[in-house]
Structure 1
Amino acid sequence: MTPEERETIDRGCIGITATNLNGGGNPLDSAEKIFGTFEQAHAAMEEKNNTLNWMARIPWFGERMAGKARYVVFAKMFWSNQDPDEKKRKNPDPKAFLPDPKTGEVDMTGYEYREQPGMVNFDYAFWDEASQSFWHANHMDYGDPADPMIVLQSTKEKFAAGYRDFDRTVYAIALANNYNPGLAAIASGRRGGH
């Protein structure tokens, strides 16, 4: 692991997702589509990857066209009410960040990373197809031995159950340039689940 990758992972759940996508940055910036359900996002991921895999089989130039990167799913839990006034933000916004009834897609325009007052502002999780689990963290690494960052491996069902800090969960697809499913499968064999 490079020092840059370690620094990104130390950002916590957002860092785990960012590292697997492109090595850094904001995962939402990499999202090509965002859905209200895991199933919709996973189906979109499979469709994109099937197309890339088909392209890669074209003799002579297919692999160069398709590249090595493949699509992945990542999730984000957050608070729907993004009012800048903390007092007005204590209740969820029943109309914000809902899936389109026809497409299932969620428009994240207006999302400002604001938390439910007194709670955590978000939880990102990277879906690892090799281990069939989400990888996320309790928080970033603050450098405090009494409160360390803990990396969590959760089943899809456990992650979807959510936390009281959040009232929305979305699932995005992105082209991942850094994801190595071979390493993920090795790592998942050595760790316990959550």
Structure 2
Amino acid sequence: MENAALPLHWVNSEGIITWANQAELTALGFEREEYIGQPIANFHADQPTINDILERLKDNQTLHNYRARLKCKDGTIKHVLISSNVLRKEEAFVHTRCFTRDITAMVLEEQRKNDFVSMVSHELKTPLTSILGYLQVMVSKAPKFGDAFFTQALAKTEKQAKSIQRMIEDFLIISRLEEAKLQLNPETFELHVLLQELIQD
């Protein structure tokens, strides 16, 4: 285990690191004497997260790909997935067995993608709002000219512009969901009404 490529560490029932392999030390940039014997909480960026991890392990739960953020010696933050369980002897807590997988590059790429989607959506939303405003004025005045085709064309254009507006809102919602910045509020709706709208579009 000492020479394993995957970062590994053990933590006792008091939350103290009792062992770590070289891959773990290298990943975080610490010397062995700086890491072993320290509270594992000292190396977590989010205290509620490590508190939850330790509570789950004490409750004999097994963790699979639990997201966390670890603090490196140079001050940077690593995004990781932690998989862990507890070694017990005669029901007594001996130590945890924690495997850590670095997903920092993936998280940063997701963040860049979400930032791009958010930026593009906002850039499109502003001019589209103006276009919709003018279209609504034109639709309200079109019947006065007595041109049925013109009136119908404007109404369809307004409908499609609103469809694009909803699409932009959906992009923003997805971006916020992936960043965990949006609270979901489930609501009931008529499915057949939605299907009819989709068919008409």
Structure with bigger gyration radius: 2
Task: Provide TM-score, normalisation by structure 2.
Answer: 0.24
More helix by share: 2
Q: Which has the higher contact order (CA 8 A, sep 6+)?
A: 1
